[in-house]
Amino acid sequence: MVTGPNRDWIYPLATSTWDENEVAAMQDVMSTGRFTMGEKVFQFEGMFAQKFGAKHAVMSNSGSSANLLALTSQALMRHSGFPKEGAEVIVPAVSWSTTYYPVTQAGFTLRFVDIDIHTLNIDLDAVRSAVNENTVGILGVNLLGNPADLRGLREIADSNALFLVEDNCESLGSSLEGKYSGTWGNVGTFSSFYSHHISTMEGGLSLTDCDETYEVMKSLRAHGWTRGMSESSRFFESSGDSWQDSFSFVLPGYNLRPLELEGAIGIAQMAKIDDIVSGRRSNAEKFIDLMRKFPDLLPQKEIGSSSWFGFAITLTGRLVGRRAELVRILDQFGVQSRPVVAGNFTRNPVLKYLRTAPIGSLPNSDYVHDNSLFIGNNHHPMDVELQTLSKALEAFSI
């Protein structure tokens, strides 16, 4: 049986959000001959920020880069350079790899804490216990469309003078207390990769209400030069020669610029966001109803209003330890599955290359690593897919 990406799945992990509008947007850009970052990108940034209630948006070439911009901006703004050795950022132990790499790349030390077994998001009591004299920030993750306890994270950050960055790459359109996730932190990040809520081929965005953070992230995105920076910025001292200043480099930046094609596609995708999120939420209602038939299979507990990136399932009771069997049966029925993001990330060999604080017991993260998986969701009606899932789960849990 073919199990790779070329297989025709009955129930795939992801489907396209494109139609003729995205194709027309690309054709429009190609007719101009301007392919690198330009007006389409800037227009998309403005539309995206306005949609989610933020002052500024910075588009980059991926959600991973959006995280890198967010963490590096906080390092530079807090420390006027990279932080002192041992400066810690608290992170949940369950997330994707590029939640963690930018923390180390920005000069911080990772302090891993456990998650809540029901929501799959960072555990607030664990965060409170982890705060110490070396803590400078919290990197909260809204996992699989589900907002973390963002009110609680914001309060912990504020009471301890910490920055809060939200990795919202899987959770576009989710909200808590009527406020969109990705807007509770100093910076919130989004991904527009193919399998996410909206797609610009590759792409990411970083939202902030802080003018200086915005200017720093724009500079970091494009070589660390001064273009687009205000002359009042503490990182930019004008020489009075605008020609020379436009080629002045003031920050240790990167080249993370998106393509003009991606900005144009993003503009087309903006009109679809509400329908995409609404469709995913409608499918989630049917999924939750289906899962009531299987009391030993625990779905992710929703906090606030999830945008349901996917549907997580945790094995409990008599089904503990049988995930490999479940994966095999799902595969036989044509249902594509994968681990809950990357499981307990501290169990990956790459940890030897990252700067980490001592790692304590992470029982919930370990449990999810061994006993959880997730399956896909999209914005189209999924009656056939969910009927197939029901048959597969019945075959597994008999």
Which residues does the annotation mark as catalytic? 196
Q: What is the C-alpha to C-alpha distance for residues 113 and 351, in angstroms, rounded to an integer? A: 15
Q: How far apart are CA 79 and CA 374, in angstroms?
A: 39
Contact assessment for residue 170 and residue 145, using Cβ atoms and an 8 Å cutoff: yes
Can you tell me whether residue 211 is helix, strand or coil? helix
Element (H, E) at 22: helix 20-32
Which residue in this structure is represented by tokens 């095999």?
328
Residue with tokens 């030069």: 225
And the tokens for 135? 């803590």
Compute the C-alpha angle 136/140/143, nearest 5°: 165
| Dihedral angle, C-alpha 19, 22, 27, 30, nearest 10 ° | -150
Q: Which strand ranges, in their side-by-side order, compose the sheet holding 135-141?
A: 56-60, 204-208, 187-191, 163-167, 135-141, 88-92, 109-113
307: left (phi over 0), alpha (psi -120 to 50) or beta: alpha
Classify strands 187-191 and 204-208 as parallel, antiparallel or unpaired.
antiparallel
- With a CB cutoff of 8 Å and minimum separation 6, the contacts of 8 are none
Return the closest-CA partner of residue 70 out of 128, 141, 130. 141
Beta bridge pairs of residue 91 = 112
Query: Of 100, 97, 101, 94, which Cα lies nearest the Cα of 122?
Result: 94
The rounded distance, in Å, linking the Cα atoms of 127 and 145 is 21
Question: What sign does the CA torsion over 380, 383, 388, 390 have?
Answer: positive
Could you give the count of Cα atoms lying within 13 Å of 293 in the half-sphere of its Cβ?
A: 16
